[in-house]
Amino acid sequence: MALYLKKELEDSKTTIAVWQITETEEQLKEMSSTPTDEMEEISFIKSESLRKQRLAVRALLNELFDEKVYLSHHDNGKPYLENLVTNISITHTEKYVAVILNDTEDVGIDIESLDRDFSAVEKKALSEEEIEDLDDDRRNEQLAMYWCAKEAVFKRLSHYNVDFAEQIEVERFRMRGEGELEATFIHKDGYEEEFELEYITFDRHLLVWVIG
């Protein structure tokens, strides 16, 4: 399928791109130009789906950059490009991978399939107030939104040992095809940091991102 969606945000400094995984693993290897050391690391992954997701990320980066890029991760798992001064966040599902790029601002992104069961998220990641805001008829979709939003903020901050229920608060929202969200991250010293997030839905998938 190659590039499924490419979105240049109004600030002109941010690019969001999505790749739909329809290729075989061998096709992705040919398209991805993955460095030898990373290819060796990918070869040890037992799940074919996860191997394809990693290769699809590589294929997407090749689509976005004219030059070959070298992808690494900090100790906390946050990705970075070794040879370019560009902030990056990466997310993937079985069917899609997505990245967000910004030259100056920190970023975070998360994608999830809306057909996944998110019932476990309620106890693991939501505060009592957030649970009270859930509606019975769209409960699973709302849980997906809470999870994606909190994951995006978590990736943006890259802190260790974050309590999603206690430290990341998402303001009440209405589910639409696309829109905005507000979230607050409460640092362990009590300092509160506010974030504005955006989201879109497509093909029964939800994509949420945060900038700055």
**What is the enclosing helix (H) or strand (E) of 113?**
strand 107-113
Question: In which residue are the tokens 């809470």 written?
Answer: 146
pLDDT of residue 92: 95
Closest CA to 178 of 204, 198, 195: 198
162 and 129 both lie in a single domain: yes
Q: In this predicted structure, what is the pLDDT of residue 1?
A: 57
Domain hosting 148: range is: 111-211
Last residue of a domain, one of 61, 84, 103: 103
Residues 6+ apart with CB under 8 A from 75: none
- pLDDT averages per 10-residue partition of the chain, 212 residues: 87 91 94 85 93 95 89 88 93 97 95 97 96 94 98 94 96 94 96 97 97 92
Q: What distance in Å separates the CA atoms of residue 208 and residue 166, rounded to the nearest whole number?
A: 20
Tally of structural domains, the chain: 2
Residue 98 sits in a domain of what CATH number? 3.90.470.20
Please name every residue paired with 97 in a beta bridge, in sequence order, or none if there are none.
Answer: 19, 92
User: 205 and 120: one domain?
Assistant: yes
Judgement on whether residues 87 and 140 belong to the same structural domain of the protein:
no
The pLDDT value given to residue 2: 83
Same domain, 116 and 179: yes
User: In this structure, are 168 and 99 located in the same domain?
Assistant: no
Instruction: Please name the residue that has the structure tokens 């019975």.
Output: 136
Looking at the structure, tell me whether residues 15 and 95 fall in a common domain.
Answer: yes
14-20 vs 192-202, strand pairing mode:
unpaired
93 and 130 part of one domain: no
* pTM (2 d.p.): 0.94
Rounded to whole angstroms, how far apart are CA atoms 134 and 100?
29
117 and 207 within one domain: yes
- Residue at which a domain ends, from 76, 103, 130: 103
| Residue 123 and residue 173 in one domain | yes
User: In terms of domains, do 164 and 127 share one?
Assistant: yes
Dist CA 109 CA 125 (whole Å): 17
Which of 154, 178, 56 has its CA nearest to residue 106?
154
Residues 121 and 174 in one domain: yes
pLDDT at 115: 96
CA atoms within 13 A on the CB side of 92: 18
Nearest alpha-carbon partner for 212 in 145, 157, 151: 157
End residue of a domain, out of 42, 69, 103: 103
Examine the domain organization and report whether 7 and 99 are in the same domain.
Answer: yes
